[in-house]
Amino acid sequence: SVAAHGTQMMTQKSLFPVSVELAPTDAALLQDLLPELHIIGYMIEPFGNNTFVIQGTPADVLQGNEKHSLELLLEQFKHFTGDIKFSKREKLVRCMARQQAIKSGQSLQQKEMIALVEELFTCNTPNVTPTGSPTYIDFKEDYLDKMFQRL
């Protein structure tokens, strides 16, 4: 992704900045991540006492959902930190991608499904999700025959 490689993402400035108070450990983590968050489109200012003000978010974060989105991003990042092969920025981008993913049970129109598959195969790694799970399974005919006991 562009943000993972250093190019600044677009920021949607908030009409009404949102303040968020965090636990001390989360506040320290957020403070450490501020430069990376800025590159991926967040505008967050420290406000003292483990409180931060969200002045803007990446363009694809829904307005009114800024606080929840940031808290979820921090939570996902904390659980991602065991994997040392990714930079902080790459982990954040992967966490954001996971937030924006289509959820199980969400219905799509056929044109949306086709566009989704086309976009998937334009990715650098279309065969895995941001967390490393497979995005698709390629079934061979002989495997299907075996599964349905047609020999």
CA distance 31 to 73: 14
Q: Is the pLDDT confidence value at 113 over 60?
A: yes
**Angle at the Cα of 134 from the Cα atoms of 128 and 139, rounded to 5 degrees:** 125
Q: Comparing 48 with 86, which gets the higher pLDDT?
A: 48
Structure-block tokens of residue 45: 């200012």
Q: How far is CA 35 from the centre of its chain?
A: 17
Q: For 3-100, CATH number? A: 3.30.1370.100
Q: Where in the chain is the domain with CATH 3.30.1370.100?
A: 3-100
Q: Which residues contact 127 (CB under 8 A, 6 or more apart)?
A: 134, 135, 136
Mean pLDDT over each residue of the chain, to the nearest integer: 83
Q: How far is CA 51 from the centre of its chain?
A: 23
pLDDT confidence bin for 107, thresholds 50/70/90 = confident
* Other beta carbons within 10 Å of 4: 18
Q: Is the pLDDT confidence value at 52 over 50?
A: yes
